[in-house]
Amino acid sequence: MSQIAYLAPTSADEAAAALIKGGATARVLSGGTDLLVQLRAGRLAPGLIVDVKRVPGAIGIRQEDGGFVIGASTPGMTIGEHAALEKAWPGVVEAVMLIGSTQIQGRASIAGNLCNASPAADSAPALIAARATCVIVGPSGRREAPVEAIGIAPGRTSLAKGEFVLEIRLPPRAARSADAYLRSIPRTEMDIAVVGAGVNLTLDADGVIADARVALGAVGPTVALAPDAGAAIIGTRLDEAALARLDDAARSACQPISDKRGTVDFRTKIAGVLARRAAAIAYGRARGRA
Amino acid sequence: MTSRRHISATVNGDPVEFLSEAGTTLLDALRDELGLTGSKEGCGSGDCGACSVIVDGRLICSCLMLAAEAEGRRIETIEGMADGSTLHPLQRKFLEHAALQCGFCTPGLLVAAKALLDANPDPSESETRYWLAGNLCRCTGYDKVIRAVMDAAAELRQARV
């Protein structure tokens, strides 16, 4: 690793310029919990590491225009400690807090979780269900893209050369709204999702679901929105028939692989189960706010 | 962009300066540049917690942080835990409860447990077990460790009254 150079730019422009200059061997360092493992394993041999944590906006949580802006390099533990964020977006926060151990939470960031582009990334289903967007900065300035547009294949993102994710934006929260995230792992703690399901709901004044978004992880090459699964429960009070339709739609949205963590059949079945359970939790939370 | 960078940081309350290659981890810098060999390398990939240190109040794996990132940061390691020859209550309780055998995971467990009690002086056993889930021990099993941490927490709460 002796040929590596390290830069910690203090502006977005400087970071983008460094990434362009570093070319194909430049890598963005956010929390480092994936990057340093890849370096050590020899899977990556970067010429330049650009640490973006000193770029203004990269760390911290603020409320803006009725929504939340999370610096994309903010450690998970800081996200978990933010009471107002957890109250508004319990599903997003519980998803982030499932990533790794306490030590990993001290460093791991949403930017890294999204840009490592694992189909099993725990924060992604919750963020996609939440209609979260990424503020991306790069050589041609700033742009905003939905979270679901970041990962395009396992380990690959849609980011152009010199671009990195600076902020995550969560939209203003309508009344009677709540979200939830569940994942299935063979242990109780610290494992990679075999299936993940994020559900985000808004109820009307009568407790009928007016808006629903369901996103599934680890059942396809990327974490993806399952529009039919959301549509299956809109207009209902999440009765048994609605839950059965949700289960069907979630299973239909799956295109998983079989690997040592789970078979196609297992993943598909569990996706339906987790979508139902996460929807029930989100519904209960939203009703609690009525 | 020279190969060795000059880093200034605070370690266990003392200002330190050292030189580091860009790709060197904080763990290697602590051990090889600063001679602080209490932090151990178990896995080198953030799974075992033997290299746990506290940076600006956050518990982290020092094998997953570059030394270059430590510029201006406040780092606490196992070497800063005892007050001279007086052991920290956690260290004393680990001895009393025999919460170690080979000792390799012990510095990481102690640092992680201290970070827990700094944040939450009265953790439940379940909270303690989850908090320490990133610290692997291959000798004792975890029960004595948990008992030692719960006992130290009780003593520290008592001392505050």
pLDDT digits (tens, 9 = 90+) for A191-239: 899 999 999 999 999 999 999 999 999 999 999 999 999 999 999 999 9
Amino acid A290: pLDDT: 58
Whether A6 sits inside 8 A of B52 (CB atoms) is: no
Amino acid A43: pLDDT: 84
Q: Quick one: A82 and A153 in the same domain? A: yes
Q: Quick one: A33 and A126 in the same domain? A: no
Residue pointed to by tokens 């979508």? A275
Report the residue of chain A nearest B132, measured CA to CA.
A102
Smallest CA-to-CA distance from A130 within A195, A79, A199 is with A199
Whether B59 sits inside 8 A of A40 (CB atoms) is: no
Q: Which pLDDT band, with edges at 50, 70 and 90, does B2 fall under?
A: low
Average pLDDT, rounded, for chain A: 96
Amino acid A189: pLDDT: 80
Distance from CA of B4 to the nearest CA of A (A): 9
Amino acid B46: pLDDT: 96
**Does residue A56 lie within any of the structural domains?**
no
d(CA A246, CA A231): 8
Amino acid B1: pLDDT: 46
Cβ neighbours around A65 below 10 Å, total: 9
CATH number at residue A28: 3.30.43.10
Q: Quick one: A142 and A69 in the same domain? A: yes
Burial A144-162 (b: 16+ CB within 10 A, else e): eeebbbbbeeeeebebeeb
Q: Quick one: A163 and A181 in the same domain? A: no
Q: Quick one: A39 and A79 in the same domain? A: no
Question: What is the pTM for the complete model shown?
Answer: 0.96
Q: Quick one: A82 and A159 in the same domain? A: yes
CB distance from B58 to chain A under 8 Å?
yes
CATH number at residue A128: 3.30.465.10
Whether B134 sits inside 8 A of A103 (CB atoms) is: yes
Q: Quick one: A128 and A46 in the same domain? A: no
* Contacts with B55 from chain A: Cβ below 8 Å: 106
Residues B52-82 have pLDDT tens digits of 999 999 999 999 999 999 999 999 999 999 9
* Contacts with B71 from chain A: Cβ below 8 Å: 8
**pLDDT over threshold 80, residue A3:** no
ipTM of the complex: 0.95
d(CA A86, CA A92): 8
**pLDDT over threshold 50, residue A34:** yes
Question: Phi and psi (nearest 5°) for A77?
Answer: -60, -40
CATH number at residue A256: 3.30.390.50
Give strand pairing partners of A146: A133
**Does residue A33 lie within any of the structural domains?**
yes
| Number of domains comprising chain A | 3
Strand, helix or coil for residue A224: strand
Query: Structural domains in chain B?
Result: 4-80 (3.10.20.30), 89-160 (1.10.150.120)
SS3 letters across B76-138 = ECHHHCCECCECCHHHHHHHHCCCCCCCCCHHHHHHHHHHHHHHCCCCCHHHHHHHHHHCCCC
The share of chain A scoring above pLDDT 90, in percent, equals: 93
**pLDDT over threshold 50, residue B129:** yes
Q: Quick one: A95 and A187 in the same domain? A: no
User: Residue A206 in contact with residue A287, Cβ under 8 Å?
Assistant: no
Cβ neighbours around A48 below 10 Å, total: 19
Residue B102 structure tokens: 């080979």
Whether B61 sits inside 8 A of A32 (CB atoms) is: no
User: Residue A73 in contact with residue A9, Cβ under 8 Å?
Assistant: no
Q: Quick one: A71 and A166 in the same domain? A: yes
Nearest to B60 among A1, A3, A103 (CB): A103
* Contacts with B44 from chain A: Cβ below 8 Å: 40
Of A170, A204, A231, the residue at which a domain comes to its end is: A170
Q: Quick one: A139 and A214 in the same domain? A: no
Residues B6-30 have pLDDT tens digits of 999 999 999 999 999 999 999 999 9
Of A122, A137, A170, the residue at which a domain comes to its end is: A170
d(CA B28, CA B31): 5
Q: Quick one: A65 and A165 in the same domain? A: yes
Q: Quick one: A204 and A277 in the same domain? A: yes
- Range(s) of the domain holding residue A200: 177-287
* Contacts with A6 from chain B: Cβ below 8 Å: 5, 22-23, 66, 68
